Structure 1
Amino acid sequence: MTRGMEAIPANWHEQIINLLAERIVVTDREGIIIYINEAYCEFLGTTVEEAINRPVQDVIENSRMHIVAKTGKKELAALHPINGSEMIANRYPLFVEGKLVGALGTVMFRSPEEWRMYKTKIQHLVEELKYYKTKVEKELKSKYYFQDLIGSSQPFLAAKNLAERISVSNSSVLLIGESGTGKELFAHAIHNHSLRSSLPFVAINCASIPEHLLESELFGYDDGAFTGAKKGGKKGQFEMANNGTLFLDEIGDMPLSMQSKLLRVLQEKEVQRVGGQKSIPVDVRIIAATHRDLEKMVDEGKFRRDLYYRLNVIKIEIPSLNKRKEDIKLISMGLLKKLERKFFRTGIEISKEVEQRLMEHSWPGNIRELENVLERAINVLDGQTIEVFHLPLYLRELELQSSSQVDSPVADTKPVGKLFSPIPSLKETLAQVEKEAIINALTVTNGNKQEAARLLEIGKTRFYEKCKLYDIK
């Protein structure tokens, strides 16, 4: 009994092919078309006679058939842009007696109606994918440049000039400074001034990610690494930053167990995903930042000495706002310009009294606190000039403190009631100041109560008790 293709009459073959796959093309090893059916030619706006014996890339827009014919690697369900739309194509290498001889390509639609139905169903998904892809690519770009770092004081200029000078290097950088001094802005600027500026900039806050998630966030994970793992696995931040810059903010808060794994990656220049077996090479420049005293932590055994020296190739200390008060006016003007865009306002100024008040404050929250103060003022501002009464209470109270220091008990013959009427009790005044201080600390730390307690130099338990007392959420 005859079996196989021999049993099918030769004049049936082409009709069978057309029924199985309406659009089909076959190329030789060099990518020259040796067969293409009429349905495909009709779709392309050409004829069989015009297409045969021509390079496939000259006939089919964005074709990869010639590549598959060279590499021998199949490409299944590949998105193929053509004629202003997207279609799905399969491309198979053709082997005869173990030798690569060409390639076969098919389009996965049987009729124009089927294509239109497909387009209606998934075109919006393609557009959504493009949107999120563009969004991710934008997020992997650094946002700030050295011209965005405002200040003319000597300590600040020294830090800025050093950062600019070493930005072209590939050496690790350690940024030291209090919370809110602008360490992340420095990291952005260093990347943007480096030879890696066109490549990814990835920032990760080591303090904000739970310890059990930090490893998979940094190094990624393979398919099935743990319950709930994303199908197909996930790239880690090191892979995302490959050939670019990885900014590790609050490195002093990284657990010791993770420090050893980070050190291995920095030494070997390769990562191994959670649940994975193979090592993936990475080329990443590290910029780390912390508000902690890492040298003290090393002495106390809370930070690995070898990791500290690996990160501390170039150390840049960013001065606190309290040590560069001559920059406050310049910084305020820059922040106001930024806030004007946010609030759709123009021409906002600060009065001389407010300028003086800003100079008198110690700024424990640094530039972040200053920005929050100005934003709060704009929210309650009717005109164009920020006055003292637009400021938070704890800054307005500076007036009372300065008056008490200047006026002696003998010289002051004016009734106190003329200064403040009616006079709240001392207990009420202290409670109000305390409440304002807590709210301000929480604003500066973006709601982080542990960090707010540290800024106010009180214990965590006492801080929570006071939040409950003043009904602060």
Structure 2
Amino acid sequence: MSSEIRQMWERYIFENKLDSSKMDKMIIDSWKLSKKFKVNPNEGIGNKILTTSDFQKRLKENETLISLAKRSLDRFGMLFKNMDFILVLTDADGYILWQAGPESLQGIAREMGFLQGSQWTESVVGTNAIGIALRTKEANIIHGYEHFAKASQQWSCVSSPILGENSQVKGVVDLSMPSHYPKKIDFLVRVQLIADYISEALQKKAYEDQKYMLQFYSTKKQVGILCDSSMTILHISPDLIENPENMIGKKLTHLSKSEWLLVKEEPIWKEQECVGYFVSVLKHETKNKTFHFPYIAGRSQTYRDLIEEVKIVAPTSAPIHLFGETGTGKEVLAKTIHVNSPFSNGRLVCVNCGALPENLMESELFGYEKGAFTGAHANGYQGKIEQAHNGTLFLDEIEDMPASMQSDLLRVLQEKKITRIGGSKEIPLHFRLITASNQNLKKLVMEGQFREDLFYRIYVCPLHIPPLRERKEDICEFIKAFEESNSWFPHWENTLIEVAEQNQWNGNIRELNNFLERCYVYYRERIPSKEQLVELIHKGGLNTQAETEGDTTNFKDQIEKEQIKNALLQHNGNIPLTAEQLSMSKSTLYRKMKKYHLN
């Protein structure tokens, strides 16, 4: 039989003639496709191989599939006892994700490009069992010369598709053996058994995951797309496109995005596994709306990048978390996000969680009914959360919120309802949440000081605000803005900018503004020296040199210390050269280095 197939193959390759009465239609169709794809019948080596990064990405997307394949080999391994074979798993595009079998046989397979990361479809290597299973969604055996290309003709291969929900092909299980093994239906049954086992497990998990994701989706109050972990579409908001059901089961990349923009892919976690994504969407007409930022943006690339990110997330209703040091301008960004959001017609309600006493926080946030407790207002009180209805709630220093209140806040965010203290009526709410912290929330979660479930609720769009010392190019902008707002234009501005840019500003923008206020008070009509400006900085700062050294070092000494330190750095610690530059003897330099702890 094999010699007869070989003759038919040669006749087709060299004469383009086929005897359809003697050959399986499936083979004939595949040979014709192989010619159409211009596969070289004298080669057929797998030469379309993923890059390392792309391969790792596919492994990540198909973790469940690979795990089930490995488990199936453990379960059904006895079916292939005493056989020389390679068991292969591919994804839905025909890329080999995993293979098992004797290293000697895998070495032979690698010579023809049959290896992990290689694509094994009819368009790449011609007629083969994997490619046919992907195209027809049916199990098959391709033996010896039934392969279109010579590279595969020394093999006998059995493949069966793995089907997910809605009978979509998720991958292929392939059993590849040397061609001396006969073409037996028994092999086909064994491979189908493995593929069916994986398919059933995959479909069961997909059903449970989809149910979980749809519950998550139901809590969202914004336009978006629900995708599984491989970015296959499960659900689309009806107002995005016409006939959204036609896109179910297709990849997100297949969508036409002429009228809207994908904003953010929010992972959906289930038992520490990312089972899918909620993709928030922004209408282009919203995106093109004028962005309002009435503050000092500065000229540093760091801050401009941040503002560009704000432009993307502000027009959505996704929760935003701002984190940065004290005085970096978190409230400024919160106001900016609010005025550029769909909630701009409502109120921006700001709450500093760190400034509220714990015993008052519940009533302040949730409000209370009249007579709820002794001292309660006669008409009751509408809490801050309720005040933010149809607007924006900004919770600053949220890391200081007590654990009991974190639980209550989580419930409000999940249910979109609130009940006042002493009341029984549930009040529906719709608001945008912005939170802020000057501590690392991730670290606090790891230390058990902040609820993990609340973290995932608020940490959807995190924005890091850089400290002023990392964007010193902006100091000049702040100074000029202060001068303009006070109609004060000192001709010694360059000295002011030079001194300001040399300071670390641990209190960030707030500390800088306080310093500028003092400058305006003390030197509105006088001209200060650099030393006087440095002294003015330290007057309002914390942890100054004078304070840390018990007031033994005055501000003049601080300037001298900086001069010596800079000279030492400039000359790589060379004492004679440093002393010469500073016009002092070496002994004096040593004495001052000891005084200022410059080792």
TM superposition score normalised by structure 1: 0.54
What is the CA-CA distance between 1:236 and the residue it aligns to? 0.3
Report if aligned partners of 2:338, 2:348 keep a CA contact under 8 Å in 1. yes
Report if aligned partners of 2:499, 2:533 keep a CA contact under 8 Å in 1. no
1:352 aligned to 2:494? Answer: yes
What is the CA-CA distance between 1:354 and the residue it aligns to? 2.7
CA distance in 2, matches of 1:202, 1:387: 44
1:363 aligned to 2:505? Answer: yes
Distance 1:225 1:386, change over 3 A: farther
CA distance in 1, matches of 2:492, 2:365: 44
SS of the residue 1:174 aligns to: strand
SS of the residue 2:436 aligns to: strand
**2:331 matched to which residue of 1?**
184
**Of 399, 404, 407, the match for 2:564:** 404
Distance 1:190 1:394, change over 3 A: closer
SS of the residue 2:321 aligns to: strand
Amino acid at match of 2:522: V
Report if aligned partners of 1:204, 1:248 keep a CA contact under 8 Å in 2. yes
**1:41 matched to which residue of 2?**
none
Report if aligned partners of 2:297, 2:304 keep a CA contact under 8 Å in 1. no
Moved more, 184-193 or 379-388: 379-388
CA distance in 2, matches of 1:384, 1:183: 35
Report if aligned partners of 1:146, 1:164 keep a CA contact under 8 Å in 2. no
**Of 517, 532, 535, the match for 1:392:** 535
CA distance in 2, matches of 1:349, 1:240: 48
Report if aligned partners of 1:348, 1:386 keep a CA contact under 8 Å in 2. no
CA distance in 2, matches of 1:372, 1:193: 29
1:237 aligned to 2:384? Answer: yes
Amino acid at match of 1:228: G
What is the CA-CA distance between 1:150 and the residue it aligns to? 2.1
CA distance in 2, matches of 1:196, 1:152: 29
SS of the residue 1:203 aligns to: strand
Amino acid at match of 1:230: H
Report if aligned partners of 2:368, 2:421 keep a CA contact under 8 Å in 1. yes
What is the CA-CA distance between 1:401 and the residue it aligns to? 2.5
Report if aligned partners of 1:351, 1:386 keep a CA contact under 8 Å in 2. no
SS of the residue 2:579 aligns to: coil
What is the CA-CA distance between 1:194 and the residue it aligns to? 1.3
CA distance in 2, matches of 1:162, 1:211: 34
Report if aligned partners of 1:351, 1:387 keep a CA contact under 8 Å in 2. no
CA distance in 2, matches of 1:385, 1:323: 29
What is the CA-CA distance between 1:287 and the residue it aligns to? 0.5
CA distance in 1, matches of 2:392, 2:420: 19
Deviations 1:192-229 (A, max 9, x none): 11122121111010000001111111110111111110
What is the CA-CA distance between 1:385 and the residue it aligns to? 5.9
1:310 aligned to 2:453? Answer: no
Distance 1:207 1:330, change over 3 A: same
Distance 1:386 1:220, change over 3 A: farther
What is the CA-CA distance between 1:325 and the residue it aligns to? 1.0
**2:63 matched to which residue of 1?**
none
Moved more, 346-355 or 267-276: 346-355
Report if aligned partners of 1:373, 1:392 keep a CA contact under 8 Å in 2. no
> 1:81-120 alignment to 2 at 5 Å?
none
What is the CA-CA distance between 1:145 and the residue it aligns to? 4.7
Moved more, 321-330 or 347-356: 347-356
**Of 246, 262, 266, the match for 2:393:** 246
- Compare relative contact order (CA 8 Å, sep 6+) and give the higher one, 1 or 2: 1
**Of 514, 520, 527, the match for 1:378:** 520
CA distance in 2, matches of 1:168, 1:215: 30
**1:160 matched to which residue of 2?**
307
Distance 1:166 1:350, change over 3 A: farther
**2:476 matched to which residue of 1?**
329
Structure 1: stretches of 5+ with no match in the other structure: 1-143, 417-422, 431-473
Deviations 1:59-93 (A, max 9, x none): xxxxxxxxxxxxxxxxxxxxxxxxxxxxxxxxxxx
Deviations 1:84-125 (A, max 9, x none): xxxxxxxxxxxxxxxxxxxxxxxxxxxxxxxxxxxxxxxxxx
Cα RMSD of the aligned pairs, angstroms, is 2.8
CA distance in 1, matches of 2:350, 2:527: 37
CA distance in 1, matches of 2:399, 2:491: 39
CA distance in 1, matches of 2:490, 2:393: 37
> 1:61-210 alignment to 2 at 5 Å?
145-210=292-357
CA distance in 1, matches of 2:528, 2:303: 27
Report if aligned partners of 1:354, 1:387 keep a CA contact under 8 Å in 2. no
What is the CA-CA distance between 1:352 and the residue it aligns to? 2.6
Report if aligned partners of 2:349, 2:387 keep a CA contact under 8 Å in 1. yes
Report if aligned partners of 1:378, 1:386 keep a CA contact under 8 Å in 2. no
What is the CA-CA distance between 1:253 and the residue it aligns to? 1.0
Report if aligned partners of 1:170, 1:285 keep a CA contact under 8 Å in 2. yes
CA distance in 1, matches of 2:488, 2:296: 22
Distance 1:266 1:300, change over 3 A: same
SS of the residue 1:334 aligns to: helix
CA distance in 1, matches of 2:528, 2:346: 41
Report if aligned partners of 1:206, 1:249 keep a CA contact under 8 Å in 2. yes
The structure that has the greater radius of gyration is: 2
CA distance in 1, matches of 2:497, 2:422: 57
What is the CA-CA distance between 1:347 and the residue it aligns to? 2.5
CA distance in 2, matches of 1:394, 1:387: 13
Distance 1:152 1:413, change over 3 A: closer
**2:203 matched to which residue of 1?**
none
Amino acid at match of 2:484: K
Distance 1:384 1:413, change over 3 A: closer
Of all paired residues, the percent bearing the same amino acid is: 39
